[in-house]
């Protein structure tokens, strides 16, 4: 995940960068609005952390320009001002969230993760479908041949990944990167445990299995085994 931090206060910029690097993000810093706009226009970021009071080009102006050009990169605005009118102005300009300084890094990280989760869902539509299996990305429930299946959040993440990559091998690394954070112990068998439970829910009582193990590689969602 690649994040652009547009912030002129070096101390704040470095504090955010350090925290994000520790959480396996890639980070670029722009020290003023003009450079921030240039990078946001020309690079592909998953998210932008945008301070509002910036030299050269104001944060709100940057955001308006970006949205006018049709760039829909998610944005979290940072500001020392916490007034309700500023918030409304920010949301009107197209920000996804708002954080008032000073803030704790954990708070920023939680909001970044929430936005990334939301934004990942939108371009693909509300439902993923494959061979009688439907995954509703709003309710986070699955349905197979009319049977509603309630999923835990980990099961949901794994199934979503499998459906987005249907008929292709999804490696264990892809699964752990999607469903767990960096503290995850790669040696543990927790992925297998979740796959087993997911399989129970999806394939049990069905004639055809959809989730298959690909020996030494990972898993695949497919109507017939490969
Ligand atoms: Ca500033």
What global pTM score does this model have?
A: 0.55
> How many angstroms separate the Cα of 180 from the Cα of each of 9, 55, 70, 94, 196?
32, 38, 32, 30, 17
List the chain domain ranges.
Answer: 2-118, 127-221
Which distant-in-sequence residues (6+ apart) come within 8 Å of 139 by Cβ?
Answer: none
Distances (CA, A) of 53 to 6, 33, 127, 170: 10, 9, 40, 43
Instruction: Give tens-digit pLDDT for 32-46.
Output: 999 999 999 998 888
Least confident of 7-16, 53-62, 113-122, 167-176: 113-122
Centre of ligand 1 from the C-alpha of residue 2, in Å: 21
Q: How far is ligand 1, taken at its centre, from the CA of residue 117, in Å?
A: 27
Q: Quote the ligand 1 centre to 53 CA distance (angstroms).
A: 4
pLDDT digits (tens, 9 = 90+) for 90-113: 777 788 888 888 888 888 988 998
Residue-wise burial string across 112-131, b where 16 or more C-beta atoms lie within 10 A, e elsewhere: beebbeeeeeeeeeeebebe
Share of the chain above pLDDT 70, in %: 89
CATH superfamily of 2-118: Response regulator (3.40.50.2300)
Cα gap 78→98, rounded to integer Å: 6
Least confident piece of the model among 14-23, 69-78, 147-156, 184-193: 184-193
- Between 1.10.10.10, 3.30.70.360, 3.20.20.70, 1.10.40.50, what CATH number should domain 127-221 receive? 1.10.10.10
Query: Confidence band (pLDDT; 50, 70, 90) for 3?
Result: very high
């Amino acid at each position: 995940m690649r994040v652009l931090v547009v912030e002129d206060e070096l101390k704040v910029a470095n504090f955010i960068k350090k925290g994000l690097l520790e959480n396996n993000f890639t980070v670029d810093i722009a020290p003023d609005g003009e450079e921030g706009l240039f990078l946001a226009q020309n690079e592909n970021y998953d998210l932008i952390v945008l301070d509002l009071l910036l030299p050269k080009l104001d944060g709100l102006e940057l955001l308006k320009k970006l949205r006018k050009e049709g760039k829909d990169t998610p944005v979290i605005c940072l500001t020392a001002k916490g007034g309700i009118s500023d918030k409304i102005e920010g949301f009107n300009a197209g920000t996804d969230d708002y954080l008032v300084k000073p803030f704790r890094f954990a708070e920023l990280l939680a909001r970044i993760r929430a936005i990334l989760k939301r934004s990942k869902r939108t371009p693909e539509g509300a439902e993923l479908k494959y061979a009688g299996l439907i995954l509703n990305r709003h309710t986070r429930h699955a349905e197979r041949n009319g049977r509603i299946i309630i999923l835990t959040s980990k099961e949901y993440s794994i199934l979503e990944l499998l459906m987005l990559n249907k008929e292709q091998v999804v490696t264990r690394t892809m699964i752990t990167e999607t469903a767990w954070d960096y503290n995850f112990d790669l040696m543990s068998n927790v992925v297998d445990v979740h796959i087993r439970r997911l399989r129970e829910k999806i394939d049990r009582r069905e004639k055809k299995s959809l989730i298959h193990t690909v020996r030494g590689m990972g898993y695949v969602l497919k109507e017939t085994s490969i």
